[in-house]
Every structure is written in structure tokens, then in C-alpha cells.
């Protein structure tokens, strides 16, 4: 497993960039991965096409877009880029626009970057660290925060929080939850890591497995799951799969995921 600091070199960080629209913002993030040897220009076009095809589901949290596409020959090595915009741009998301941060991912497969996605989910989900990232004056200072030089963990992101944790599910029962995105290697992994944080806190990790997957595979696997968690745009694409499809608006919020999980299990 590669760490976040390994996948996101300081050379792939740009701050206070001006972009006319979401395509240009993704274009800047894509060029940084080209410059650092992770992708070819074709992958940038694939990231733009992903949004054109699947909608702005990549806007995973208020102000944050996670640009990516499927593994392809245009990916030379797994890598990331980070673009903080000088002025926010609209991606067309119902609740999380406008976007001020574009993080881009190029993945050769769905496994190598799992640890990095977990680290990124925790960093963006902590208000103190998110504030430090937003205020970092230079790429080097931002990279230092990403590498672990960050404030003490603050409270969870805003949302309903229930202090008491639910009792264990029925003895011996094993459950699966699918987290779904258009490609199965980006936002679905992000949501998977946030969900697993909640399950760990509940003490339910040994009862519930979480699998990140894409829309096509999710339709075939839905019968194995108690629920599917995804964005509103991907929920529309999935349609009726015979299992509850739960919409999460902020993929970095353990408070929101906690509420969705309680609704799923009626606890």
C-alpha cells in the first residue's frame, strides 16, 4: 500500500489557481499528473468524460471534487494531484457546489491506493486539518499537513451525532454494504473508508463488510448486500436494484454516514 505523501508529490500541488469552469479545473489537475509522470493527456480527457457521462457525483463534499476515471492505458503509474482554486467554480452538484478544491486520482488498479484514500478521507473529515489545508500558503506547507504535520483531531464534521452506539446485530449474522461510484476506484473507496470508520466506532466491523464497486458491477452484486451507499447522481443511474439505495451527500462526514447507517438498520 502506498501512502498519501507518496502518491501526491509536492510538484503535483497548485494553490490559488484560476479556472473558468469545471472542465478547466479538471484540466489543471490532469496536467499536473502528466507533468509528474502519472498519466498521459488522454487521462485528463477521460476524467472530463466521466463527469459528462455520470454527472457531478465526483463532488464528494461541500467544495471538494475528486476527479478520476477508470484504470486505462493512459495511466502510467498510480498518482494524484491537488488544485486549490482562487475562485470557486460550479460543477452542477445539487448540494456541494461551488468547488474550491479539486483532488485528482489516476489509479492502475483498485487496490494500490486504498490506504491513501483512507488517509485522505480522515484528513478532509477533520475540521482542523481541513482548515489547515485551506490556509496553507505554499505547496510545501500543504504537503507537510498531508504528511501528518497537522492539528489535533477536532470534532466531526457538522451533522446529527448520536452519542450511544447501537448493540451488535443479530448473533452470527454477517452483512455486506456496497459503496458505489461510476468507476469503483475513486469516490466509492472514499465513502468505503468513511463508512468503515463508523463501523469501527460502533464495534460492528466484524459483522459488516464494505465493498467499493462501480455501477455496472453493483447491479449484479446488489442481491448480496443489505444496502448500497452512493451519491444522488449514481443512485439515479442504479435505479431499482432490489435493495435499499442510500444517498450520502458528504462523503467525508462520519456524522452523516452514521445517520445513514442507523436508518439502514433502524437503530
- Helix extents (H) in the chain: 4-7, 22-35, 41-54, 114-125, 127-135, 139-146, 187-202, 215-221, 232-238, 254-265
Question: Which of 70, 68, 72, 43 lies closest to 58, judged by CA?
Answer: 68
68: annotated active-site residue: yes
* Phi, psi for residue 228 in degrees, rounded to 5: -120, 130
CA distance 78 to 38: 6
Secondary structure class of 216 (helix, strand, coil): helix
Contact 42, 159 (CB under 8 A): no
Q: Catalytic residue among 68, 93, 113, 143, which? A: 68
**Cell reading at 192:** 468505503
With a CB cutoff of 8 Å and minimum separation 6, the contacts of 119 are: 3, 4
- Helix extents (H) in 150-227: 187-202, 215-221
Contact 186, 58 (CB under 8 A): yes
CA distance 18 to 85: 6
Question: Which of 33, 72, 35, 32 lies closest to 50, judged by CA?
Answer: 72
Q: Which residues are catalytic?
A: 68
Amino acid at each position: 500500500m502506498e501512502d498519501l505523501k507518496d502518491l501526491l508529490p509536492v510538484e503535483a500541488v497548485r494553490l490559488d489557481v484560476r479556472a473558468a469552469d469545471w472542465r478547466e479545473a479538471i484540466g489543471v489537475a490532469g496536467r499536473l499528473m502528466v507533468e509528474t509522470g502519472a498519466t498521459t493527456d488522454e487521462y485528463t480527457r477521460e476524467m472530463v468524460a466521466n463527469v459528462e457521462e455520470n454527472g457531478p457525483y465526483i463532488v464528494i463534499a461541500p467544495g471538494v471534487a475528486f476527479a478520476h476515471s477508470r484504470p486505462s492505458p493512459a495511466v502510467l503509474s498510480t498518482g494524484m494531484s491537488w488544485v486549490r482554486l482562487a475562485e470557486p467554480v460550479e460543477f452542477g452538484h445539487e448540494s456541494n457546489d461551488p468547488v474550491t478544491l479539486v483532488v485528482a486520482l489516476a489509479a492502475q488498479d483498485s487496490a494500490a491506493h486504498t490506504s491513501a484514500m483512507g488517509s485522505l478521507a480522515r484528513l478532509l473529515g477533520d475540521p482542523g486539518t481541513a482548515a489547515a489545508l485551506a490556509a496553507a500558503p505554499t505547496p510545501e506547507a500543504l504537503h507537510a499537513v498531508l504528511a501528518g504535520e497537522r492539528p489535533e483531531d477536532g470534532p466531526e464534521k457538522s451533522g446529527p451525532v448520536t452519542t450511544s452506539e447501537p448493540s451488535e446485530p443479530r448473533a452470527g449474522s454477517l452483512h455486506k454494504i456496497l459503496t458505489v461510484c461510476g468507476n469503483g476506484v475513486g469516490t466509492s473507496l472514499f465513502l468505503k473508508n468513511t463508512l468503515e470508520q463508523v463501523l469501527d466506532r460502533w464495534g460492528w466491523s466484524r459483522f459488516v463488510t464494505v465493498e467499493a464497486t462501480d455501477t455496472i458491477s453493483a447491479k449484479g452484486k446488489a442481491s448480496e448486500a443489505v444496502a448500497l451507499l452512493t451519491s444522488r447522481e449514481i443512485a439515479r443511474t442504479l435505479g431499482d436494484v432490489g435493495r435499499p439505495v442510500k444517498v450520502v451527500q458528504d462523503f467525508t462526514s462520519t456524522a452523516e454516514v452514521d445517520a445513514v447507517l442507523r436508518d439502514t438498520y433502524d437503530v
